[in-house]
Chain A
Amino acid sequence: MRFLALLRKELRECLPWLLLAAIILLAIGGFILRDAQLHEWYRPSPSRFPSGSIMKWYDFTIHPPLSPVGPVLLLTSIGLGLALGARQFWVPHFTRTWGFTIHRSLTRSTILCAKFTAAIIAFVISLGTVWLALYWYSSHPALFSMLPVKRVFIEGWLFILLGLVVYLGTALTGLSTARWYTSKIFGLAFAAIVIFPVILQWRLGWAFALIIISALILLSQTINAFSEREF
């Protein structure tokens, strides 16, 4: 009951960012898919290649219509990670509500767990649901002649996980009492560095492993920072 009360409070505080992220992804992703559906730009049209013209290999490099939504999802996920990390771990510092939050009949680890749970729920509800909806929409054979492969769908979830890594990095930076030019920046810098190998990684398994390892590193550091931190 106490955990649920705290979780509800955390979710309510995440709600504006959760909705904003969902709306951004739905609007841009929906627009891209609708555009693809109307203009069928994702496949080479015979009208674009009149007979006798020279066709190069890249004219045939075609993607499923959901693929261009991937970068949008990645950016939205990073944005949501930054926003939630800041909301949960920076704002209480500026509004001086840490004392009121911490002094209650819960251990610090439970309080932190409620924050993490709220963030995961926020990611799943906003980005996960919208991504699932976009995938489902783009998989409609009646609407699109080229259906997305599963890899695109999994890549999307990796981008969502990457957002969680950014969230943990922001949380760690927010909890740090060091100066900006010293170890405070570590959390955000680490999360930023992780993004590049993940998006450049061709093998999904490696990308997934990289995300999990970096998330575990940041998670252990964040738990330690929260339990040791003075409020």
Chain B
Amino acid sequence: MSETVLETKGLTKYYGSTLAVDHLDLNIPRGSICGFVGRNAAGKTTAIKLMLGLLKPTTGSSTLLGCDSQQLRPAIRRRIGYVTEGHRLFRWMTITALEKFQRSFFPKQWDDRLFADMIEYFQLSKRQKIKHLSNGQRAQVSLALALAPNPELLIMDDPTLGLDAAIRRQFLQGMIELIMRQGRTILFSSHILGDVERVADRIVVIDKGVLRANCSLEQFRAAVKKVILTFKDFVPDEVNIAGLLHCRRTEKQLELILVGTSDDRIAACADTAGAEEYNIVKMNLEDQFIEYTAPKNHRRLFKWEEK
């Protein structure tokens, strides 16, 4: 289980003078379902394209299934499924034509029954042309095309983008279908943290091209904490505690975002700061992610709110 299927070392990409990915060091072990999360323009798509050898890194390297991404042989590519951002398929093809086209690249691997099952599950007609499908239906076809060859590694670039809740759930169910098969590894980027929470066992957080977290989901969930210190009279501007990410002051409270700080330390800190009481607020993954990636001096949407 500890074998690494995807590894990047100091992966960096500049577009002109714009830094898209900054020294990304990443390891994805075999059999993991990895949610690759980040805000818009965080560098997720660029990182994925670098990993697949579709883009060339400015510096650094990456390997997929032990092969350098820039020299992925056809035999290696055959073992890697890729769902492109926006599910870009050949619009003029019918689902049947696309199936036939894709199947010819995987003569031994292609699972006809799995593809047919998925198309039926998603209630699609094989005669439909891609251009006549909705965004959600195209996503479903994309997923079926990616899963039918039984890839060892499946990389999906924001596969649930633009899908409604019901279709997203169906899509995730399809992903779980693959997860059920042993030894399969999935890396999927997403904005929707609920999806990551539902299926992933590992989380990679990227922010402005920089890797911010690469750990198991449980570790991330346990590490990022919101603590509210309530004071009776005097509220200090900030407190000194290890792992402090953000500190926000209100009239009677201090709101702390902490990473990797133990409950004992929090209690000791509250005591030292003279807080009347402290509460560790339970956050969902989305809140944790937002707090974790929020800029230091995050300004309000409307400036008048700051007054």
Interface residue ranges of A83-100 to B (CB < 8 Å): 95-100
Is A117's beta carbon under 8 Å from chain B? Answer: no
B82 touches A105 (CB 8 A): no
B84 touches A99 (CB 8 A): yes
Task: Select one of B88, B92, B106 contacting A99, CB under 8 A.
Answer: B88
A1 touches B104 (CB 8 A): yes
B86 touches A96 (CB 8 A): yes
C-alpha gap A217/B10 in the complex (Å): 37
Q: A9-B90, A97-B90, A99-B49 are in contact. Are A104 and B54 (CB under 8 A)?
A: no
B54 touches A103 (CB 8 A): yes
Is A28's beta carbon under 8 Å from chain B? Answer: no
Is A125's beta carbon under 8 Å from chain B? Answer: no
Interface string of B97-132 (1 = CB under 8 A from A): 000110011110000000000000000000000000
Q: Which of B72-80, B182-190, B213-221, B268-276 contacts A (4 or more CB under 8 A)?
A: B72-80
Report the minimal beta-carbon distance from A127 to chain B, rounded to whole angstroms. Answer: 23
With a cutoff of 8 Å between Cβ atoms, the chain A residues found around residue B49 in the complex are 99, 230-231
Interface string of B53-96 (1 = CB under 8 A from A): 01110000000000000000011011010101110111111000
Report the minimal beta-carbon distance from A110 to chain B, rounded to whole angstroms. Answer: 8
Q: A9-B90, A97-B90, A104-B77 are in contact. Are A230 and B55 (CB under 8 A)?
A: yes
Is B52's beta carbon under 8 Å from chain A? Answer: yes
Interface residue ranges of B2-20 to A (CB < 8 Å): none
With a cutoff of 8 Å between Cβ atoms, the chain A residues found around residue B93 in the complex are 9
Is A12's beta carbon under 8 Å from chain B? Answer: yes
A105 touches B106 (CB 8 A): yes
Q: A1-B104, A104-B105, A105-B106 are in contact. Are A12 and B82 (CB under 8 A)?
A: no
A230 touches B84 (CB 8 A): no
A103 touches B52 (CB 8 A): yes
With a cutoff of 8 Å between Cβ atoms, the chain B residues found around residue A102 in the complex are 54
Report the minimal beta-carbon distance from B86 to chain A, rounded to whole angstroms. Answer: 6
With a cutoff of 8 Å between Cβ atoms, the chain B residues found around residue A13 in the complex are 90, 92
Using a Cβ–Cβ cut-off of 8 Å, how many residues does chain B contribute to the interface with A? 26
Task: Select one of A8, A9, A95 contacting B88, CB under 8 A.
Answer: A95
Using a Cβ–Cβ cut-off of 8 Å, how many residues does chain A contribute to the interface with B? 22
With a cutoff of 8 Å between Cβ atoms, the chain B residues found around residue A2 in the complex are 104-105
Is A54's beta carbon under 8 Å from chain B? Answer: no
A231 touches B54 (CB 8 A): yes
Q: Is the interface of A mostly helix, strand, loop or mixed?
A: helix
B89 touches A103 (CB 8 A): no
Report the minimal beta-carbon distance from B163 to chain A, rounded to whole angstroms. Answer: 18
Is A5's beta carbon under 8 Å from chain B? Answer: yes
Is A107's beta carbon under 8 Å from chain B? Answer: yes
A96 touches B104 (CB 8 A): no
Report the minimal beta-carbon distance from B181 to chain A, rounded to whole angstroms. Answer: 20
A9 touches B54 (CB 8 A): no
C-alpha gap A99/B85 in the complex (Å): 9
A230 touches B88 (CB 8 A): no
C-alpha gap A107/B49 in the complex (Å): 17
Q: A96-B84, A99-B49, A230-B56 are in contact. Are A12 and B74 (CB under 8 A)?
A: no
Report the minimal beta-carbon distance from A109 to chain B, rounded to whole angstroms. Answer: 11
With a cutoff of 8 Å between Cβ atoms, the chain A residues found around residue B105 in the complex are 2, 5, 104-106
C-alpha gap A98/B88 in the complex (Å): 9
Task: Select one of B56, B80, B84, B106 contacting A100, CB under 8 A.
Answer: B84
Q: A5-B105, A99-B84, A100-B84 are in contact. Are A105 and B89 (CB under 8 A)?
A: no
A105 touches B56 (CB 8 A): no
Q: A5-B104, A103-B54, A106-B74 are in contact. Are A97 and B88 (CB under 8 A)?
A: yes
B78 touches A105 (CB 8 A): yes
Q: A97-B88, A97-B90, A230-B54 are in contact. Are A105 and B101 (CB under 8 A)?
A: no
Which B residue sits closest to A231, measured CB to CB? B54
Report the minimal beta-carbon distance from B153 to chain A, rounded to whole angstroms. Answer: 12
With a cutoff of 8 Å between Cβ atoms, the chain B residues found around residue A97 in the complex are 84, 88-90
Report the minimal beta-carbon distance from A18 to chain B, rounded to whole angstroms. Answer: 14
With a cutoff of 8 Å between Cβ atoms, the chain B residues found around residue A230 in the complex are 49, 54-56
Task: Show 7 A/B contacts (Cβ-Cβ < 8 Å), sorted by A.
Answer: A9-B101, A97-B84, A97-B88, A100-B84, A103-B54, A105-B77, A230-B55
4 more contacts with CB within 8 A, not counting A99-B82, A104-B105, A105-B105, are: A1-B104, A9-B90, A100-B90, A231-B54
A-side interface residues toward B, CB under 8 Å?
1-2, 4-5, 8-9, 12-13, 95-100, 102-107, 230-231
> 6 closest A-B pairs (Cβ-Cβ)?
A5-B104, A105-B78, A105-B74, A99-B84, A96-B88, A230-B55
